[in-house]
Amino acid sequence: MFLEAITVGSMSVCCYILACEETRQGVIIDPGGDEDLILSRCKAEKIQVTAIINTHGHPDHVCANAPIKKATGAEIIMSAEDAEFFGKPDVEQYFSILGLAPSPKPDRLVKDGDLIEFGSESLKVITTPGHTPGGICLYNPPNLFTGDTLFVGGVGRTDFPGGNGQQLFQAIRDRLLILPGETVVWPGHGYGGDHSTLAAEIRTNPFLSDSSWAR
């Protein structure tokens, strides 16, 4: 699978371009700005973008959805929970303080266990609420795209509207740390590094330091 990571936008979001090596069908995960750069990389790699996938609905991860959809015709994919939550007028008004464009209404809503296919590749949806009500991670072994659920050396904040710390840690423990230790973590921001492994995070991430995590 083709994989390219690009840091984009005013809030330094880690955006990922993935593609099937055979068909060149591909997806974009979390286009948080700099749509011209993202599109130019897709053009250079001859990638037909079939989907724009948002790990969650915060504006810094969705603000380039509209121009990329317009340019490619790709469908926008988000969890049903985040589509509903971020569609509320009061929530949209709150996050407007960031000065970033909201996403158009998603074309496809996904739930835990769904597969997002592109060519001969696919991403399995793993629901990980906590940072937002409907946060998701995306799994294509050995790669795990964790959005703002799990960072290198950190975890997502839960003090924004819709955040829930108990849900976040439960999701990380029960849904992510059961995956193989060699799973590569590709986070939504590179605060502590651009990638890691689950085994390394269990050993070194201070938020996961309790031995009960390594079960």
Whether the upstream peptide bond of residue 59 has omega within 30° of 0, thus cis, is: no
For residue 169, pLDDT beyond 70 = yes
Has residue 215 got a pLDDT over 70? Answer: no
What does the mean pLDDT of the chain come to? 95
pLDDT band at 210 (very low <50, low <70, confident <90, very high): low
Residues 2-210, CATH architecture: 4-Layer Sandwich (3.60)
Give per-residue pLDDT as tens, 7-42: 999 999 999 999 999 999 999 999 999 999 999 999
Confidence of residue 134 (pLDDT cuts 50, 70, 90): very high
Inform me whether the pLDDT recorded for 126 exceeds 90: yes
What is the structure's pLDDT at 214? 46
Q: Helices in the chain by DSSP H: which ranges?
A: 35-44, 59-62, 65-72, 80-86, 89-95, 165-171, 198-204
User: What does pTM read for this prediction?
Assistant: 0.96
The ranges assigned to domains in the chain are 2-210
In this prediction, what percent of the chain has a pLDDT beyond 90? 95
Residue 22: per-residue pLDDT: 97
**pLDDT at res. 186:** 98
CA 121 to chain centre: 17
